[in-house]
Chain A
Amino acid sequence: MEVVVATAVVTLALVSFSQAGVLATRLLRNQKATLEATLLAQEGLEAVRMVRDASWADITWRTGLQNPSLRYYPVVENGIWVLATTSPGLVNGVYDRYVQFEKVGRDASDRIVASGGTDDSGTRRVIAHAVSAAGDIQITTYITDFQSFLLSITDVVAVAYTGAVTDDIGANFPSPNAGDGDPGQTFTTGSSQVEITRTALLLRRSTDLPSDVFVELRASPTGAVLGTSQIISGYTISTTTPAWVSFYFSPAVPVSPSTIYTIRLRSVPDSTIPGSGSAGFIYWEYRQTALSPYSGGIARRFIGRLANPADAGQPMDQYDFGFKAYAYP
């Protein structure tokens, strides 16, 4: 009898302990899931702020279609945050992350009212959601177009070749561990001195996870580096249709008038070094005609191949890659 009682007591104690442990672990997992969801929702709001900072009009049209708006999915595309209309799939395989916009009404004293009021075209309510099987984490905030009252700096296209239509592997970039070097395009600046703020290249990725890429503005294909852009994550580059991807130089690069410069597309890991781990492919759209399509410069490939920084690569007189060079007006 005593043995039975003792066993029961001990078992009961152990079962409660282990239950407490299981509960603690489950709570911790819940906490982790809630934190992940909250961070994703917050990131959604940051993405909205970034889109707002670039263009308020890009926010307002969404409530013009429907109020509250449809669901928009914040994703990084071609190196910038965009609010996509179609779902990119579950984030981390778990969370459905989207934002919605609502119009904001104000009363006679300019206070925001829950319903009714006069529509304030310069304010929107944003609700970010991160939905998983465990629930829906929502964060609500207001955004305004205060940036439009501040001095904003814009840039304009200084030099460009936009006729590139051929979409293929031409430059073998980023070369998968082969050390095949980088592609480049030379161009001639206009007659006035300008500061190059960015270059936009017409790119498309042909594989899921190509290496990350950046642009160097150089005096010549292997010459001095005048400016280095931010790195664009390879997987964010458009895969269906070629898109203009902007590579910004900060600070802007001053260039001399009527001078030839080189845009060199590079990768991380380095496409010029054999075995570096670089992975393809990103297509830089080009065009070939008997007479060079763009008279101010030519395309090159295999620059710096096989870890030789002095190798200016193969000049391709009949080819030009699609590019735009922007400058302060």
Chain B
Amino acid sequence: MHIRNINRRGFTPLETMMTKRKSSHHSVRVKKKFLTGFTLLEVVVYVALLGVLSVFVVNSFMQVVNLYARARAEREALANARGMLEIIVKNVAQAQEVYTPTSRFNIDAGQLSLVTNATSTLGHTTSYIDIWTDGGAAMIRSEGAGNVTLSAGSVRVTKLYFERIVQAIGREAIRVTIRVDAAGAKFPASVTLISTAAIRGNY
């Protein structure tokens, strides 16, 4: 059987095809049916190609997803550490002095108590501020107010270390080390930031 002008597509066609045949007088539409198939080689090549492609696509997709998850975990840790450090440092700089009886220095789960004259309590000239960690969260409490959580739920504060540096009488600074881990993330992300603030009572 000889066929001309078959509109071939892809591999050997299996479907019913329409062909046009020109006679000397007029064009005649002839409908012909062909029953064809893949060769074994074609199937093997196709399946192999599909397999390789799928593996590559899925693998790359997983990598991209992982990359973004990692980036998000790092961003969370960094943003939290930065925010907390800023709040702590500002509070230290504004404070009048350290309140030593309730402060815990030089330990990983430290607590810092400050005496400040920035007070909202009527009739009081000074008030107290406590900063500490509790169950992986950094907390702050101003006298007369409730506990406020400084860190987001998506991170754990694994180190809040306060070091008291006394330069001279009444000249003190607090060195703060804060370590934040992305909590429960599949990808470990950890940020450690250190800063020092002099206690200078608002100047």
Contact = CB atoms under 8 A, between A and B. Distances in A.
Nearest to B169: A153
B33 interface: no
Interface string B117-145: 00000000000000000000000000000
A80 B167 contact: yes
A228 B100 contact: yes
B64 interface: yes
Contact of A79 (B67, B166, B169): B166
A25 B164 CA distance: 35
A51 to B, nearest CB: 7
Given A3-B49, A32-B191, A230-B164, A153 B105 contact: no
A198 B85 CA distance: 30
Interface in A41-81: 42-43, 46-47, 49-51, 53-54, 76, 79-81
A233 B163 contact: yes
A21 B68 contact: yes
Given A28-B78, A248-B166, A250-B100, A14 B61 contact: yes
B85 to A, nearest CB: 7
Contacts of B152: none
Interface stretch (B12-20, B23-31, B34-42, B170-178): B170-178
Nearest to A31: B78
A233 B106 contact: yes
A147 to B, nearest CB: 9
Interface string A14-48: 11011001101100110110011001101100110
Nearest to B174: A46
> Is the contact region of chain B dominated by helix, strand, or loop, or is it mixed?
mixed
The size class of the interface chain B forms with chain A is: 35 or more
Nearest to A48: B198
B47 interface: no
A161 to B, nearest CB: 22
A192 interface: no
Interface string A210-241: 00100000000000000010110100000000
A190 to B, nearest CB: 20
Given A10-B53, A228-B100, A154 B169 contact: yes
B53 A7 contact: yes
Contact of B193 (A15, A22, A36, A155): A36
Nearest to B10: A2
Contacts of A14: 57, 60-61, 64
A272 interface: no
Contacts of B71: 21, 24-25, 28
Given A17-B64, A50-B173, A231 B100 contact: no
Interface string B87-100: 00000000001101
Interface of A: 2-3, 7, 10-11, 14-15, 17-18, 21-22, 24-25, 28-29, 31-32, 35-36, 39-40, 42-43, 46-47, 49-51, 53-54, 76, 79-81, 153-155, 197-198, 212, 228, 230-231, 233, 246, 248, 250, 268
Given A18-B63, A231-B106, 8 more contacts: A3-B49, A14-B60, A18-B64, A21-B71, A42-B195, A53-B198, A246-B166, A248-B169
15 contacts: A14-B61, A18-B60, A25-B71, A28-B74, A29-B74, A39-B85, A42-B195, A43-B195, A46-B195, A51-B167, A54-B171, A197-B169, A230-B105, A250-B166, A268-B106
